[in-house]
Amino acid sequence: MVNPGQLGAAPCHGQMLQPGPAVQGRRHLLQRHRLHRLEGRAPQRRSSRADRTHAPIPAHGRLGPGLASVARGRFPMTALPQPRQGAARMLLAFVRAYPGRTSLALLALIVAGVLDGLGLSLLLSMLNLATGATEDPSMPEQMALEIVQSLGLEPTTVSLLVLGVIMIAFKAMIVLLANRQVGYTVAHVATDLRLRLIQAVMNSRWRYYLAQPVGRLSNAVATEAHRASEGFFHGAVMATQTISALIYAALALLISWQASLIALIFGGALLGILHFLVRIAGRAGRDQTGLLKSLLSVMTDQLGAVKPLKAMAREQHVDRLMSSQTRDLKKALKSQVIAKAGLTALQEPLLAILVGVGFFFFLVQMNLPMGTVMVMIFLIARSVNHLAKAQRAWQHMAVSESAYWSLRETIEEAEGEREPPRGHLPPSLERGIRFDKVSFSYGDKPVIDQISLEIPAGQLTVLSGPSGSGKTTLIDLVAGLLHAQSGQILVDDQPLDDLDHHRWRRLIGYVPQDALLVNDTVLHNLTLGEPGLGEDDALEALDLADARDFVEALPQGLHTLLGERGGRLSGGQRQRLAIARALIHKPRLLILDEATSNLDAESESAIISTIEDLKGRLTLLAVSHDEGLVRAADQVIRIRDGLRVEGDAE
């Protein structure tokens, strides 16, 4: 994933380019506070000076007011102890994250349930009145009749029927309002989780980001966030059905509490017998979450290498690699489907048994009147039926909750690797950059060893040497993506550690080996949607990159769509656009990371000519083996095994 603004500011990793405008202030802050509640987070102390000094750093571009506040440490975070997972804890986290919407929906459901009960009581009174029943009215009927009389109406069949229908219709409108709130909240859950993950990854340390499989992050954004929001939806369904069940049970208890209590206990026991199917579905959901995460990580890697695999007739390698996990995923899905279907299929006959036994018990054993028995059976059957639906919703929650916990774990892991803010001095680049006995290692493997060198301002410096010699690490150190473990890096005689790193990176333009372009217009590929950049800036950058002529020759000029990965352009044209993108925000340092290595001789010569024209206007630092670029350099620094082995040349 690459932040808007990053491609023109510092080195990037991976192939996932996410262009577009930054998320704006207040909406993001609301989303962030919701997610703090969603995860139960407490404020974190600021990083120690040691943490701020020795932690490696990723590049983050312009994040917008909300995200930039986080990047500056305005909202510090801490890692949570691993919670005990479960559907109930997930639902509680959602309620805490969205208390307003959840409370409104819950209140609406309670009012709707009461109206439903009163409407049924009115219809029951109407039925008794129409049939000439002589029994004393039950408590629900008495309440309904009192409501009719308080309205100044005579309790007739017509008045009771009309009022009953009105209440039930009003109940339906309130349920619609509650469902509307639930729908909005479901969308917020998915959106907030996705934004939280993207923000956490983009603000993480560079070394952490390098270690993350792109497929895992893609799965979290696309699949796990959606499944987590489904968990909230099914939790809302469960609450709706439970409230309705309680209303019907309360009405039944008011008519005959002894008979209703026995029937409800019997019905609850029957549903409890089926709870093992809920556990089976939950296990299947957890298996699916783990398998999808692994499968998509492998698939992303393999699809990125599909051309050489096909060229060497080794497609079967992918099939062998993925077939085992795919079969395991099939088994998990099969278990989930069987558990869901089994729960639905077994609930219906058990409900029929409850109705039959209840009818016999009320009518024969308790000698209740037929009218009362019919009403009791109706109310208890409805109550148990709603409980059955609540159980099915709980089963769906059990399937979805593993995705929520997996996504939360990924977010917490990325937030635990958050890059601390560094430096405070405003950067400048007028004299040059100097390495003074700088060393860096990955674990126990030294990459840069006591190296000293100077990169004069306004000149072209080329780093040359075999692969793995430490050239890219030097670039990462200059950009502040990595931090020297000993020695010092000085910019205009100021320690790089003392400079505001974000502002320093805004002075850097970066051109990678592969020009990463998206299927959008030329203008958007140059500006990356940054609000302060427009067509004039794009044309000026294109002039500097000697790319204006071919862009203006395109069918719609700056507004021409480039196709997937810029497929409508030649390699040289794509690289010129990458140079223009790096220059559009007027950097002071241009880094070229093997920028000419994939070009043909003619395109390479043209790009080198463009680079020579930029000398004197800004500082250029290139990693290259190309003899043409080496000849054009003001200074060539040879690197081998992390050491400078040769000074200036040519």
Residues 602, 86: Cα–Cα separation, whole Å: 62
**3-class secondary structure per residue, 435-449:** EEEEEEEECCEEEEE
Task: Give the contacts of 440 (CB within 8 A, at least 6 positions apart).
Answer: 446, 447, 448, 473, 477, 482, 483, 484, 485
In sign, the C-alpha dihedral spanning 161, 163, 166, 172 is: negative
Residues 340, 160: Cα–Cα separation, whole Å: 41
Whole-number pLDDT of residue 60: 34
Residues 229, 89: Cα–Cα separation, whole Å: 14
Residues 538, 585: Cα–Cα separation, whole Å: 9
CB contact at 8 A, 89 and 404: no
Write down the residue that tokens 């509680």 correspond to: 92
Pairing of strands 432-442, 445-456: antiparallel
DSSP per-residue codes, 420-482: PP---BPP--SSEEEEEEEEEEETTEEEEEEEEEEEETTSEEEEE--TTSSHHHHHHHHTTSS
Whole-number pLDDT of residue 7: 40
Q: What is the CATH number of domain 87-416?
A: 1.20.1560.10
Burial class (CB in 10 A: 0-12, 13-18, 19+), 104: middle
Whole-number pLDDT of residue 589: 92
Q: Which two tokens stand for residue 291?
A: 């398998």
Residues 225, 191: Cα–Cα separation, whole Å: 8
∠ CA 99-105-109, nearest 5°, is: 140
Domain ranges, ordered by start, for the chain: 87-416, 432-646
Strand partners, 593: 623
- Does this chain's domain 87-416 share its CATH topology with 432-646? no
Strand partners, 17: 2
Whole-number pLDDT of residue 590: 92
Q: How far is CA 396 from CA 390, 403, 483, in A?
A: 10, 12, 47
Secondary structure class of 493 (helix, strand, coil):
coil
Q: How far apart are the first and last CA of the chain?
A: 39
Strand partners, 561: 521
Strand partners, 445: 442
Secondary structure class of 337 (helix, strand, coil):
helix
Of the candidates 478, 452, 447, the one whose C-alpha atom is nearest the C-alpha of residue 640 is 447
Write down the residue that tokens 């473990």 correspond to: 485
CB contact at 8 A, 193 and 228: yes
Residues 42, 412: Cα–Cα separation, whole Å: 13
Q: How far is CA 164 from CA 55, 260, 373, 383, 575, in A?
A: 68, 23, 21, 19, 73
CB contact at 8 A, 552 and 563: no
∠ CA 478-644-487, nearest 5°, is: 50
Distance of CA 486 to the CA centre of its chain: 37
Q: Which two tokens stand for residue 523?
A: 């203008």
Which helix (H) or strand (E) segment is 486 a member of? Answer: strand 486-491
φ/ψ (deg, to 5) at 258: -65, -50
φ/ψ (deg, to 5) at 433: -120, 140
Q: Which two tokens stand for residue 70?
A: 């986080």
Q: Which two tokens stand for residue 72?
A: 């500056």
Q: What is the CATH number of domain 432-646?
A: 3.40.50.300
Whole-number pLDDT of residue 139: 61
User: Consecutive sets of 10 residues in the chain, 650 residues long: mean pLDDT of each?
Assistant: 39 38 38 46 37 34 32 31 62 82 82 77 68 60 70 73 80 84 85 88 83 80 84 86 84 74 75 74 72 70 66 67 71 75 75 75 70 74 83 84 85 85 86 91 83 90 84 89 89 90 89 81 86 87 86 86 74 84 90 77 80 87 83 87 58
Helices in 584-640 by DSSP H: which ranges? 601-614, 627-632
Of the candidates 193, 263, 262, 185, the one whose C-alpha atom is nearest the C-alpha of residue 222 is 193
* Reported pTM: 0.67
Residues 489, 492: Cα–Cα separation, whole Å: 10
Task: Give the contacts of 25 (CB within 8 A, at least 6 positions apart).
Answer: 64, 65, 66
Whole-number pLDDT of residue 435: 92
Q: How far is CA 315 from CA 228, 306, 310, 311, 360, in A?
A: 34, 8, 6, 9, 67
308 C-beta neighbours (distance < 10 Å), count: 8
Which helix (H) or strand (E) segment is 282 a member of? Answer: helix 275-304
